[in-house]
Homo-oligomer: A and B are copies of this chain.
Amino acid sequence: MKHVVIIGGGFAGINAARELGNKQDVKVTLIDRKNYHLFQPLLYQVAMSALGAGDIAEPLRNMLSRYNNITVFKGVVENIDKDQRIVMTDFGQLSYDYLILACGVKHHYFGNEQWEEYAPGLKTIAQATEIRRRVMEAYEAAERTDDPVARKKLLTFVIVGGGPTGVELAGSIGEMSRHTLSKFYRNIDPKLTRIFIVEAAPRILGSFTPDLASRATRALEQLGVQIWTSSMVTKVDGDGVQIGNERIESSTVLWAAGVRAVGLGRKMGVEIDRSGRVIVEEDLSVPGYPEIFVGGDQAHFAHHTDYPLPGMAPVALQQGRSIGRNIMLDLKGRERKPFRYRDKGQMATIGRNKAIVEVGRLKFDGAPAWLTWLLVHIYYLTTFKHRMLVLMQWGWSYFTFGHGARLIVNKEWRFYPEKRPCPPCEMQDES
């Protein structure tokens, strides 16, 4: 009986687990810091009040309970001894025959980690809730104040980074301020909301063709989003952002600029790239350690392409499956198969009836692209949620311009001063 330890219950981890589920001669332990799998591509919709957290997250135990050979632990991995083949966790040690690293990435501030408190990133449900709180709180404060300058600052939103996440956040705020919120306030006109995308590169959506990115730019502008390209943020503070000699005063800055793999790769002493991702072989194993695999955002895989595969859900999903299958091939004494990414294309949504889709040579935008985006996401979401009703509700509120989940939930932290979990930050980060 071989023991496979999987660290991380994201797209890579969960799909590797499924490949190994209920298979003979193998037992699986999956460890995650959270007790749920998160459908990350729609996380920005939680931040923007269009969906509740429960709509895009599912307890890992629900997803894996049908596999009798899989045990799930909610815990934190502190280190890995790759020679002794031991995983050290906050609840004890586990030895493994195979190890799958799928811990993903977190936000990266390029050496300016102090910016994080002023400009949260969007990787977890807690961050999405915090972004929602800040955005909605800004409108509430603007409604209360009489000072026009303070009001302008409150109604200014800066998104640092013009990749798909930045575009989706900016588009949502544009949509919400132009269409949803206008009838709800008496003292302010939410249509006056200023939204900026600040991007260091010469254009936004660098992974798409220039033509599609340009169409996305126009669609964003129609929603009132101002796009500043070739603009490197030099400072973020509680009052706004500095871009060289220019400055935007803003109460709400969101970070969608950079990510970095979590630190386990570095800690283990394997070869990593500049972003902390583990450089892997063609079969996604670590050079010299064929029993250790890395999948998803944490893997640097650059075997059939000029650049490493991007950190996208389809890549992670396919890598997880490939790892699971290769372990099964090992156990049957057969040869492993190298991983090949089957490119399903990429897409980004900007707002209602506004999206861009690129599949191979096929490129389109507008309503057809938006519909494609919607159907693809509903399809993938149902593969793990099985909740058509929620999806119908979501589709409905999307069509009716609803952002009904605009709840500001304060952290009432003063209530729970001691029992609150506050593990050493390093530990929390590293798994």
Contact = CB atoms under 8 A, between A and B. Distances in A.
Nearest to A124: B412
A129 B57 contact: no
A24 interface: no
Contacts of A125: 407, 409
B406 A35 contact: yes
A58 B420 CA distance: 28
A91 B415 contact: no
A61 B415 contact: no
Interface stretch (A112-120, A290-298, A319-327): A112-120
A416 interface: yes
A93 interface: no
A258 B137 CA distance: 32
A192 B195 CA distance: 54
A269 interface: no
A385 to B, nearest CB: 9
A217 to B, nearest CB: 31
Given A74-B144, A416-B117, A407 B185 contact: no
Contacts of A302: none
A49 to B, nearest CB: 9
A411 B413 CA distance: 9
A35 B407 contact: yes
Given A145-B91, A187-B71, A404 B54 contact: yes
Interface stretch (A11-19, A161-169, A346-354, A387-395): A387-395
23 contacts: A35-B140, A53-B409, A54-B407, A58-B404, A59-B404, A61-B184, A62-B406, A65-B183, A71-B186, A72-B143, A73-B143, A74-B137, A117-B416, A120-B415, A126-B409, A129-B409, A130-B415, A130-B416, A387-B393, A387-B404, A389-B389, A390-B393, A414-B425
Interface of A: 34-36, 52-55, 57-59, 61-62, 65, 71-75, 91-92, 116-118, 120, 124-127, 129-130, 134, 136-137, 140, 143-146, 183-187, 238, 387, 389-390, 392-393, 396, 404-422, 425, 428
